Amino acid sequence: MTPFRLSVPQSDLDGLRLRLAHTRWPEPETEPGWAQGVPLEYCQELCRYWEREYDWRATEARFNALPQFVTELEGLNVHFVHLRSLNKEARPLLIGHGWPGTVMEMLDILEPLSKEFHVVLPSLPGFGLSDKPATTGWGIGRAVKAWDELMSRLGYDRYLVHGPDWGSYLAGAMAAQLPERVAGIHITLPMADKPEEPVEITSREQARLAELYQWWPLDSGYAVIMSTKPQSIGYGLTDSPAGQLAWLVEKFWSWSDHDGDVEKAISRDRMLDSASLLWLHAAGASASRIYWESYRKVPNLPVGVPTGVSSFPKDASTPRAWAERRYTDIRFWRDHEAGGHFPALEHPDLLVQDLREFARAL
């Protein structure tokens, strides 16, 4: 395992600013607001901030304060953070991330979690710090094997897994395939098929399902594109920082909990942390390929290990009665009153508390 330090050449930062300064902009949207995507005025404002004020070096220094390494797993050099706890009773906790986030999404929760957990945070291949796969086959199924091997190399025979987004898929797959290794999972996106027999769900769950059924057809175009033609969209994402930023920020806006101003939920610096990491490593296409590899291809296998769920109102969510058919040993379930798809960014304190309570309930 080789120690790692993030160090972006100054010429790359200068090149980013130059490209931002020479962006060729489209005309304004014909429908006010976000109905057609990121409004021109906001995108221009955010790009100006990225060019002139955002401090990548501050984020880089914060990230480099964490112990990081690279090791070869499943044919690729994989980057990971390994933050050992000083607590003698600490449990190992593997954290998975998703898209449009990166490992940067988890920065606010790592130190607080290390008070009770040995934290391991690997970066998915293609997301900027681990190698980019050069062949097909590196999806969630491959990550299950790789991440378990990583935990073995670190000396952890039994461990917990947490994840939002793709991390929730990963946690479920690891629990289903490795119940002797995974002591429990905590997820924010429980995925379960609708039961064939009628089950009772709450009025709140009914309202959320209705909202999801209305919202998803209008918001799923990104997934269709990246799961079918990631190379085509990758050219634009890799060549235009403004284009990549708009592609990411649309999801930060759509999936977080706010009153129309996304920065009330997630600061522009935190959105730009992940956008910068992906841009500086030319990862627009490679990060998209997780959808080509795994979107609608990860089966909802039965999970018998202890499970915890933190459900946030602006995130897609499965009713508990549905989830219980798949996750048969739910030890913790909390319906929060606020928050969306990015709890590590929107409400890191709530997420940390939930993880602690879930672990103590085992």
Q: Structural domain boundaries of the chain?
A: 2-360
- Sort strands 159-163 and 68-73 into parallel, antiparallel or unpaired: unpaired
Distance, in Å, from the CA atom of 73 to the CA atom of 94, rounded to the nearest integer, reads: 16
The answer to whether residues 57 and 16 touch, using CB atoms and an 8 Å cutoff, is no
Query: How buried is residue 203: exposed, middle or buried, by Cβ count under 10 Å (0-12/13-18/19+)?
Result: exposed
Per-residue pLDDT band at 182 (split at 50, 70, 90): very high
pLDDT in tens, 138-158: 999 999 999 999 999 999 999
Is 128's pLDDT higher than 90?
yes
pLDDT in tens, 257-300: 999 999 999 999 999 999 999 999 999 999 999 999 999 999 99
pLDDT in tens, 78-111: 999 999 999 999 999 999 999 999 999 999 999 9
pLDDT at position 317 is 83
Length of the chain: 362
Q: Which helix (H) or strand (E) holds 271?
A: helix 268-280
CA 2-5-6 angle, 5° bins: 135
Distance, in Å, from the CA atom of 62 to the CA atom of 311, rounded to the nearest integer, reads: 29
pTM exceeds 0.85 for this model: yes
pLDDT at position 172 is 98
Per-residue pLDDT band at 54 (split at 50, 70, 90): very high
pLDDT at position 80 is 98
pLDDT in tens, 298-308: 999 999 999 99
CATH code of the domain occupying 2-360: 3.40.50.1820
> Could you tell me the two tokens for 181?
């290794």
pLDDT at position 330 is 98
**What is the per-residue burial (b if ≥16 Cβ within 10 Å, else e) of 267-300?**
ebbbbbbbbbbbbbbbbbbbbbbbbbbbbeebeb
Instruction: Look over the chain and give the mean of its residue pLDDT values, rounded to a whole number.
Output: 97
Residues 18-24, mean pLDDT to the nearest whole number: 98
